[in-house]
Structure 1
Amino acid sequence: MGDGAPGRITALVRQDFRLLARDPAPLVVRTVMPLLIMGFMLPLFRAALRADDVPDANGAEQAVPGMAVMFLFFLVNIVGFAMFREHGWNTWDRLRASPARSVELLAARLVVPLLTAVVQLAVIFGAGALLFGLRVSGSYAALAVVGVPLALCVVMVGMALVALCRTISQLSVIANILALVFAGLGGALTPQSALPDWAGPLAPGVPSYWAMRGFSAVILDGGGVSAVLLPAGVLCAFAAGLGAVTLAFFRADQRKLSWS
């Protein structure tokens, strides 16, 4: 590995990019699937938005950010696989024996998933505009202000689960459950105003709620960067909290199992 922490982290990041380039299929599927689902859900979302006093809505205003947020959280599995495969390949001990410290090994594993998540969001929003007529009445910069901390939050969910779970099966089950719960409570599957009474008080406790709130402020309300500072700040707080959980519970000497 390269000299110094930056060189060692860069070497690990390059390796992750090479592995991603060899097998991009999981990421392609996670990007294409939300677009396919949008085609089926668009009429339902159109009716929901028009019932929510958005008379000129075409449904993409809810479908695109909702499916983007929902499927972004399925990337948590990929974050976990990136860590667990080192144990499955019996290369984790070799990494630990290298000059790289545990915090460097963790930091290096953040880069590729984070960039992947940002690109996935950009592709889904761009395709949503081209294929489904998504109209953004606010600032595109504001979308990025929400999207980047959301992507970081997703990656940190994955890192926290890596720290807490011993097997890949545990991580996969928990990650999938969280993705669906976050989608439901966060307003990805229906406008937040249409959530059931019991879900309303719980919704602000999940990061997807703040992501959808920020995206809606830009897409539907025409907001700029100042309008999304609160949602973006809360997403950053979620990411910081998950980072603290990761550092508190991650043990480099704990053997992870890449099978049940």
Structure 2
Amino acid sequence: MRGEECFIRASALVRHNTMLLLREPGPLVSRLVLPLGFVVLMRPLYVTAYGEASGRARVVTGGLVMFSLLALSVVGNAIFSERLWHTWNRLRASPARPLEVLVGKSVPVLGALACQQVVVLLFGVALLHLRVLSPATLCVTVLCWSLALLGLGAALGVVARSLAQMSAAYDIGGILLSALAGVMVPLSTMPGWVRPLAPISPGYWALRAFNGALDGDTSDTVAACAVLLAVAVAGAAVVYARLLGGAGRAAEL
């Protein structure tokens, strides 16, 4: 019975948060459309830099990683909206356990993040004739990257003190992490002091994982996915700690 009650509470939270996400689809739709425009517009540049076949793959993975990092705002807003409405502490005080709250918040957003990546990849396969040498590994990469984004976005959602602070962190952080990962220009063309910093960005490991899956390099993809999972666990630990303690209380907005 105890397990059944947990499942019922978590399912109710999943349905509620899915409804909230679908009521305001604007941010999600923009994160689905913008990477497709990026791929179309930037394809000639990537083809010139990498060659025809490699350029098609790199523009798809680059657009996917950059706009999925910008989609961290979708994750953070799922939590921060509760704080903005002054319902976050009520949720923490409800019979729902921290793990159930995390599941209820995570499942809808995880689906949205995975959907974004699948749309971009299908676009590349259908219109750019992108070759996928390891489809199974690519599916694992989508899951690992989605979990890493979920952990990062949720952690920022509970740490940020205001909506403006959170928006600045997502926008500035998303662009900087994308640039540092080598999404906008190849790492080989960056200044020498920048290249060693690239592994700091989760986007760097996402690019390695996606490019490895497309090229059939399973070992490189597995190593990169392990780092992404570590990022996801670290983010989840921050959120869980804030749920258990009093530090997750929102500032008065």
TM (normalized to structure 2)?
0.90
1:192 aligned to 180, 184, 187, which one?
187
Aligned partners of 1:85 and 1:258 also within 8 Å: no
The answer for the alignment partner of 2:101 in structure 1 is 105
The answer for the alignment partner of 2:35 in structure 1 is 34
Q: How many residues align?
A: 250
Greater displacement, 79-88 / 36-45: 79-88
Q: Which amino acid aligns with 2:250?
A: K
Q: Does the residue aligned with 1:134 lie in a helix, a strand or coil?
A: coil
Aligned partners of 2:14 and 2:107 also within 8 Å: yes
Give the deviation of 1:252 after TM superposition.
5.3
The root-mean-square deviation of aligned C-alpha atoms, in Å, is: 2.2
Instruction: Write the deviation string for residues 107-126 of structure 1: whole angstroms up to 9, x where unpaired.
Output: 32111111111111011100
Give the structure with the higher percent helix: 2
- Distance in 1 of aligned mates of 2:127 and 2:252: 39
Q: Structure 1 stretches of 5 or more lacking a match? A: 51-55
Give the deviation of 1:158 after TM superposition.
1.0
Seen in structure 2, the aligned counterparts of structure 1 residues 46 and 10 have a Cα distance that, compared at 3 Å, is: same
The answer for the alignment partner of 2:148 in structure 1 is 153
Seen in structure 2, the aligned counterparts of structure 1 residues 252 and 109 have a Cα distance that, compared at 3 Å, is: farther
Q: Which amino acid aligns with 1:132?
A: L
- Distance in 2 of aligned mates of 1:175 and 1:104: 26
Q: Does the residue aligned with 1:163 lie in a helix, a strand or coil?
A: helix
Instruction: Write the deviation string for residues 72-102 of structure 1: whole angstroms up to 9, x where unpaired.
Output: 1122111111112223333334323321123
Q: Which amino acid aligns with 2:74?
A: I
The answer for the alignment partner of 2:80 in structure 1 is 84
Seen in structure 2, the aligned counterparts of structure 1 residues 62 and 69 have a Cα distance that, compared at 3 Å, is: same
The answer for the alignment partner of 2:221 in structure 1 is 228
Seen in structure 2, the aligned counterparts of structure 1 residues 127 and 214 have a Cα distance that, compared at 3 Å, is: same
Q: Structure 2 stretches of 5 or more lacking a match? A: none
Aligned partners of 1:80 and 1:168 also within 8 Å: no
The answer for the alignment partner of 1:126 in structure 2 is 122
Aligned partners of 2:155 and 2:238 also within 8 Å: yes
The answer for the alignment partner of 1:141 in structure 2 is 136
Give the deviation of 1:59 after TM superposition.
2.7
